[in-house]
Structure 1
Amino acid sequence: MNWLKYVAKGLIHGGLDASGAPHRRRDALRGHLLVLTYHSFGDGVPQGLFGALPVRQFERHLRYLRSHFCMVSLEQGVGNIRAGAVEHQPFLALTIDDGFEDNFTFAWPLLKQYGVPATVFLATDFIDSGRPPWPTQIVEILERATLNVMSFPFPARLGSLKEKIAVARNLQHQWAPLPPGERFELLEALRAHLRVPVDWVRRPLRWDQIRTMRDHGVRFGSHTEFHSYLPVSSDKVVADELLGSKRRIEDELGEPCRLFAFPDGAFDDRCVDAVRVAGFEAAVTQVKGSNVGTTTPYTLHRIEVPSHDPFATFRCRSALAL
């Protein structure tokens, strides 16, 4: 983490918060639905390329959100804006992508404690096989690599965090259009090339944990099977990703899977049509903004919550004041 940047953000956004800008934005957003995106949670300071949100920070988030927003499930929030409902505070839904086990270990106890509904979007191959989604595998392999240079699949330096971030982005760009099986073969070759152990640090939720969370009010949606970037995938891969994950969740939970989250928020008209044809009722993107009754239900806006934000930045970000 860049501590100088962290402190500067905290000071700047603390001043913005003190000016009343988030309060004014919340007033203007009454009747709107805001959707926050989380991923992973931990008990320490975010480190490396893939930071987990400290659980103490998440608890601060929940306390703040309960006081300043009308907390709803994603399904309830979509229903509210379609019906034109208005409360004294904006509606806000909390979502978590991918399906990491820390969602159960760290996030769920706090969600229960504060009575906050949430929707978790599952990449079902991760749940079933234990191998993380392919972008997470890239990050973990590079994080754990001790070599300072690599020659496969292209020559690059790995001596600094900045260099590893650049390599991760390059690999994600190159491998995104490939079929899932081919990507996994390349990932295995990269892992072997960099001499990284095969035991993954980031573990998935188990189906019994998912059912326990479901029984206590957490909802679950699809995030595809293999976390493929759908706009650059073939029609067959898109259909397989959508239907395979939807059926898997429905088989395990014994209830319809109605909600979908586009991996990396990436979508186009073809993908939106495929999501609708697959039988989903709503889908979320990573396009920043709020949602109203006229927002297309298959391209709902969300607000990403980085793991390294100062709390003042979060307060401003949650009200779209940044």
Structure 2
Amino acid sequence: MRLPITTLPHPVPHPDPGRSRARRAAPPHARGRSARRLAVLTFRDLTDPAVFRAQLDRLRRTARPVSLAEVEAALRGGAPLPPHAVLVSFELGHRTAVTVALPELAGGLVPAVAFVVAGLVDTEQPYWWQEAEYLVGQGGRARGLSARTPGGVVAALSALPDPDRRRSLEELRVTAARQAPGAPQLTSADLLALRGAGVELGNHSLGHSRLDSCDDYALREEVQGGHHRLTRLTGAEPRAFAYPDGVFDGRAEPLLRGLGYSSAFLSDGALFDLRGAAGGHPDPLRISRLHVNAGTSRGLFDSVLSGWNPTARRLRGAVAVRVQDPAVG
């Protein structure tokens, strides 16, 4: 998703107590590497428009919003990304991407990409995990699921092979006292509104089944089926993919490459290390992302924008991308 796809001018340095606090919070070695990491921020349901507006304002003031096109060009060895580069993304196709995010993005000239579960467009079908939680609350039971709490059942379903998950979900529907209420999803008109405003649309699969739980046929349906339906709905082929649940599956790579995808995104809660491993090659199909929501503290948000990785664990899947030297400007 992008509004203009060109890089915004370098911000003029100005006093910003919040930014100063964020830099003080980051360890010295992290501050030294801040210009070599890309933050891909992923929002889901925007429950608090005021918080989202404030987060975008912080982003514009303390970081450098970049577009999907700029990230992909850097991965191909083109123009380097600026220091403190941030790509904004939305996941699951929540309607708040249109009702809340779009006016703010348009007003602030912030590029973005929205990943859409193509099979849910123009429906009121709730996400399967939300439906499962409701059905369990209505007394729904399924054989083979020992968990009884809504959260426990969803966790158990997530761990099942996809055919077993679907069968268990159907059992929950049959045994529950009430069926889950509808949940309006993005419409075809919404997708065209996003595209018309310059927001990039990405494929988030056909039905949001975890790829590592699918057999080869189901995995192909999730990837290719989502691609073809999104293409029919918008008239344009998506070139970015987000793995359902952020879980990478190597079987998807040849499918994505065959369909012409330029990038694919994980959800590993990490910044994307732009340095890469010694002798390594960029892998545009394993780009790190981290989730942001209304509960993300300002301190953590500012630290991420400054290039401080919020996780203690070592980054995985780092790729090499050229980054503009801050001294060059």
TM-score w.r.t. structure 2 length? Answer: 0.76
Assess if the C-alpha contact under 8 Å between 2:265 and 2:289 holds in 1.
Answer: yes
Residues in 2 aligned to 1:146 and 1:198: alpha-carbon distance in whole angstroms: 9
Per the alignment, do residues 84 and 133 of structure 1 end up closer, same or farther by CA in structure 2, a change over 3 Å counting?
A: same
CA shift for structure 1 position 279 = 2.6
Query: Aligned runs of 1:74-93 on 2, under 5 Å?
Result: 74-83=68-77, 85-86=79-80, 89-93=83-87
Map of 2:100 onto structure 1: 106
Aligned position for 2:38: 33
**Structure 1 residues 281 and 187, CA, compared in 2 at 3 Å: closer, same or farther?**
same
Residue equivalent to 1:70: 64
Aligned length in residues: 285
Which stretches in structure 1 are left out of the alignment for 5+ residues?
A: 1-13, 43-53, 159-163
For residues 208 and 229 of structure 1, the distance between their equivalents in structure 2, rounded to whole angstroms, comes to 27
3-state SS of 1:41 partner:
coil
Deviates more, 1:114-123 or 1:164-173: 164-173
Match of 1:138 among 132, 139, 146: 132
Q: Which moved more, 1:298-307 or 1:17-26?
A: 17-26
Output the CA distance in 1 between the equivalents of 2:81 and 2:118: 36
**Equivalent residue, structure 2, for 1:209:** 190
Deviation per CA, 1:114-141: give whole Å up to 9, x if none: 2111111111111143313323332444
Q: Following the alignment from structure 1 to structure 2, what is the Cα–Cα distance between the partners of residues 88 and 211?
A: 30
Picking from 154, 162, 171, the partner of 1:189 is 171
Deviates more, 1:288-297 or 1:228-237: 288-297
Query: Residues of 2 paired with 1:133 and 1:212: CA distance?
Result: 23
Q: Assess, with a 3 A threshold, how the Cα gap between structure 1 residues 185 and 198 changes in structure 2: closer, same or farther.
A: farther
Name the structure 1 match of 2:323.
Answer: none
* Partner amino acid, structure 1, of 2:178: V
Other-structure match for 1:10:
none
Aligned residues with identical type, % of pairs? 25
Structure 1 residues 152-172: Cα deviation after superposition (integer angstroms, max 9, x where no partner): 3434444xxxxx323321222
Q: Deviations over 1:17-50 (max 9, x none)?
A: 37241897465232543211111112xxxxxxxx
From 247, 253, 258, the equivalent of 1:277 is: 258
Q: Check the 8 A contact 1:30/1:86 in 2, yes or no.
A: no
Moved >6 Å (runs of 4+): none
Q: Does 1:122 align with 2:103?
A: no
Q: Choose the corresponding residue for 2:247, options 251, 266, 274.
A: 266
| 3-state SS in 2 of match to 1:93 | strand
Please give the alpha-carbon distance, in whole angstroms, between the structure 2 residues aligned to 1:307 and 1:189: 34
2:285 is the alignment partner of 1:298: yes
Alignment of 1:225-240 (within 5 A): 225-240=206-221
Q: Describe the superposition over 1:220-279 as per-residue Cα deviations: whole angstroms up to 9, x where unpaired.
A: 010110111112211111111111111111122112211111001111322223322233
Alpha-carbon distance in 1 for matches of 2:134, 2:44: 15
2:142 is aligned, of 145, 152, 155, to 152
Deviation, 1:56, is 1.5
Residues in 2 aligned to 1:220 and 1:178: alpha-carbon distance in whole angstroms: 26
Q: Judge conservation of contact 1:272–1:299 (CA < 8 Å) in 2.
A: no
CA contact (8 A) 1:55 1:106 kept: yes
Q: Which residue of 2 aligns with 1:178?
A: 162
Q: 1:30 to 1:82 in 2, by over 3 A?
A: farther
State the match for 2:199 in structure 1.
Answer: 218
Deviation at 1:184, TM superposition (A): 4.6
**CA RMSD, 1 decimal:** 2.9
2:224 equivalent in structure 1: 243
CA contact (8 A) 2:45 2:94 kept: yes
Aligned partner of 2:188: which letter? W
Closer/same/farther in 2, CA of residues 107 and 133 from structure 1, 3 Å limit: same
